[in-house]
Amino acid sequence: MSLSKKNTAWGIRILISFLFLLSAVAKLYPSPYFAISTFEVKQLYPMGFSEGFAPYFSRILIGIEFALGLLILQKNFLRSIVIPGTILLLAVFTTHLTIVTIQDGGNSGNCGCFGSLLPMTPVQAIAKNVVAMILLVWLFIIMPKTNERKDNFWVLTSVTFAMILMLFMLAPIQPPASNFTVSAPEETSADTIQSTTVDTTKVVPAIAKDSIKKAVTDEVVAKPVVNEPEKHKSGYAQYFSNIDKGRKTLCFFVPGCDHCRQAAKELTELRKTNKNFPEISIIFMNEEADLIPDFFKEAGAEYPYKIIEVIPFWKVLGSGKDTPGVKYLWNGNEYKYYFGITDNKFNPVDYQKLINKPFSELKK
């Protein structure tokens, strides 16, 4: 092999190694269990993977990415197994992304190739994979067969199993959570509730039965004007027992999420200017739960909350939704759902107008 081809080959190998290692590391950001669980819910579940199989597949897949990123830099079975295997994996990813692009448009959302560290649309990911496959084909062509060793197959198996084992150790599979919740303290700036006391010392005079009958038969009682929606089960009563009574603001936050903290601050500011502001309750993801006190400090107030595990949280949030999530509920009926940080993100001005509207002007 000439010096120029050798340098080209090493350049391709280093570049492919970097891409695969970056892809694997990014899928563990900001923390392994959180990132992998999010990858399962947002990427694997929509593909049809079951809840039982997805945790194993995700860890094995990321482990293989780590292994290929390392094995592309060594000589053992490089041309016969490693390069073809890498091309095959990229081809599978590209096929899936192509199907997603055709079905859903593909030029929006995050494909998950680099996790949440480097969001990438399916179209961008396809372009990246095609370039990588072309480079690998080029590498396969310029790499001479004599430069490959075929006597240490154990190197491939050892590195691959070691990387997969590392993933299971970094993010152990957890059993399904069954209503894992933690109650919160009372709000630091609780709403004032006016109570009516009854004077039991006064005796109300008895009314004759005949008089009552006459009043009932003679008086025409007008039907009251309905000024609130009929009661409906929102599905969140397991977290907050009174969530379906009256007007509520239900939030879905991650304790360490800056966007969630900003939304909480905006809600607190709105609440200060409106005595009848819909009661705020929060469902937190169990990711960096120790930051909840700091979250409330930044928000400017404390609110009742529950904590649920990562995967149940994504399910409760809703398919295709992202944090921060804010819902306006009235008697369990949902009238608005803000989510994510793009087109549907929480808008305090819009929310202020919404909660001031009477029932007759609201549309579900």
Residue 79 domain flag: yes
Instruction: Provide the pLDDT confidence category of residue 294 given band limits of 50, 70 and 90.
Output: very high
**pLDDT value at 186 more than 50:** no
- Does one domain contain both 121 and 243? no
- Does one domain contain both 235 and 158? no
Mean pLDDT of the chain: 84
User: What are 4-18's pLDDT values in tens digits?
Assistant: 888 999 999 999 999
- Does one domain contain both 146 and 251? no
Residue 310 domain flag: yes
**pLDDT value at 97 more than 60:** yes
Q: What is the pTM of this model?
A: 0.74
For the beta carbon of residue 313, count every other beta carbon within 10 angstroms: 25
Q: How far is CA 87 from the centre of its chain?
A: 31
Residue 190 domain flag: no
For the beta carbon of residue 349, count every other beta carbon within 10 angstroms: 9
Question: Whole domain around residue 116: which residue ranges?
Answer: 3-170
What are residue 308's phi and psi, to 5 degrees? Answer: -130, 160
Give a three-class secondary structure readout of the chain: CCHHHHHHHHHHHHHHHHHHHHHHHHCCCCCHHHHHHHHHHHHHHHHCCCCCCHHHHHHHHHHHHHHHHHHCCCCECHHHHHHHHHHHHHHHHHHHHHHHHHHHCCCCCCCCCCCCCCCCCHHHHHHHHHHHHHHHHHHHHHCCHHHCECCCHHHHHHHHHHHHHHHHHHCCCCCCCCCCCCCCCCCCCCCCCCCCCCCCCCCCCCCCHHHHHHHHHHCCCCCCCCCCCCCCCCCCCCCCCCCCCCEEEEEEECCCCHHHHHHHHHHHHHHHHCCCCCEEEEEEECCCHHHHHHHHHHHCCCCCEEEECHHHHHHHHCCCCCCCEEEEEECCEEEEEEECCCCCCCCHHHHHHHHCCCHHHCCC
Residue 199 domain flag: no
CATH number at residue 331: 3.40.30.10
- Does one domain contain both 72 and 213? no
**pLDDT value at 192 more than 50:** no
Q: 189 vs 293, which has greater pLDDT?
A: 293
| Cβ-based neighbours of 301, under 8 Å, separated by 6 or more | 187, 188, 189, 268, 271
- Does one domain contain both 166 and 216? no
**pLDDT value at 228 more than 90:** no
Lowest mean pLDDT among 149-153, 208-212, 256-260, 343-347: 208-212
Measured CA to CA, the distance from residue 40 to residue 104 in angstroms comes to 19
- Does one domain contain both 53 and 130? yes
Lowest mean pLDDT among 1-5, 41-45, 240-244: 1-5
Mark which of 170, 192, 223 sits at the end of a domain: 170
- Listed ranges 93-102, 179-188, 232-241; the one with the highest mean pLDDT: 232-241
Instruction: Provide the pLDDT confidence category of residue 1 given band limits of 50, 70 and 90.
Output: low
Q: What average pLDDT does range 331-347 have in this prediction?
A: 93
pLDDT in the model for residue 108: 62
How many domains are there within the chain? 2
- Does one domain contain both 164 and 214? no
Residue 316 domain flag: yes
pLDDT in the model for residue 121: 83
Q: Which two tokens stand for residue 108?
A: 């929006």
pLDDT in the model for residue 117: 72
Residue 23 domain flag: yes
**pLDDT value at 197 more than 90:** no
Q: 355 vs 214, which has greater pLDDT?
A: 355
- Does one domain contain both 145 and 249? no
- Does one domain contain both 19 and 162? yes
User: What are 34-76's pLDDT values in tens digits?
Assistant: 999 998 998 888 888 998 999 999 999 999 999 999 999 999 9
Long-range CB contacts (within 8 A, 24+) of 314-319: 314/37, 314/38, 314/41, 314/42, 315/41, 316/236, 316/252, 316/283, 317/252, 319/46
Mark which of 141, 170, 199 sits at the end of a domain: 170
**pLDDT value at 107 more than 70:** no
**pLDDT value at 187 more than 50:** no
Residue 191 domain flag: no
Q: 209 vs 300, which has greater pLDDT?
A: 300
> Which residue, among 36, 129, 34, 22, has the nearest Cα to 68 in the 3D structure?
22
- Does one domain contain both 23 and 117? yes
pLDDT in the model for residue 162: 97
Q: What average pLDDT does range 152-169 have in this prediction?
A: 96
- Does one domain contain both 130 and 239? no
Instruction: Provide the pLDDT confidence category of residue 168 given band limits of 50, 70 and 90.
Output: very high
pLDDT in the model for residue 254: 95
**pLDDT value at 253 more than 90:** yes
- Listed ranges 100-104, 206-210, 285-289; the one with the highest mean pLDDT: 285-289
Q: What average pLDDT does range 140-163 have in this prediction?
A: 90
- Does one domain contain both 245 and 118? no
Residue 186 domain flag: no
Instruction: Provide the pLDDT confidence category of residue 277 given band limits of 50, 70 and 90.
Output: very high
Instruction: Provide the pLDDT confidence category of residue 147 given band limits of 50, 70 and 90.
Output: confident
CA end-to-end span of the chain: 70
Residue at 50: amino acid letter = S
Torsion of CA 330, 335, 338, 342, to 10 degrees: -170
Mark which of 149, 170, 191 sits at the end of a domain: 170
